[in-house]
Amino acid sequence: MTDSAVQVGNLIARYAELIDAGDFDGLGDLLARAAVGAVDSPGLLRGRDALAALFTATTRRYPDGTPGTKHVTTNLILDIDDEAGTAAARSYFTVLQAVPGLPLQPIVAGRYRDRFERDAEGWFFSERLFHIELVGDVSHHMLSGLPT
pLDDT at 24 over 80: yes
Mean pLDDT to the nearest integer, 92-118? 97
Q: Do 20 and 70 touch, CB atoms closer than 8 A? A: yes
- For the whole prediction, is pTM greater than 0.95? no
Look at residue 148 and tell me if it is in a domain. no
Look at residue 146 and tell me if it is in a domain. no
Beta strands in 1-148 (DSSP E): 35-38, 45-46, 69-81, 86-99, 102-119, 122-135
| Cβ-Cβ contacts under 8 Å for 42 (sequence gap 6 or more) | none
Look at residue 143 and tell me if it is in a domain. no
Residue 71 belongs to what domain range? 3-135
Look at residue 140 and tell me if it is in a domain. no
pLDDT at 138 over 50: yes
Band the pLDDT of 1: cuts 50, 70, 90.
low
Q: What percentage of the chain carries pLDDT values higher than 70?
A: 97
What is the rounded CA–CA span in Å between residue 54 and residue 45?
9
- 42: helix, coil or strand? coil
Number of domains the chain contains? 1
CATH number where 68 lies: 3.10.450.50
- 143: helix, coil or strand? coil
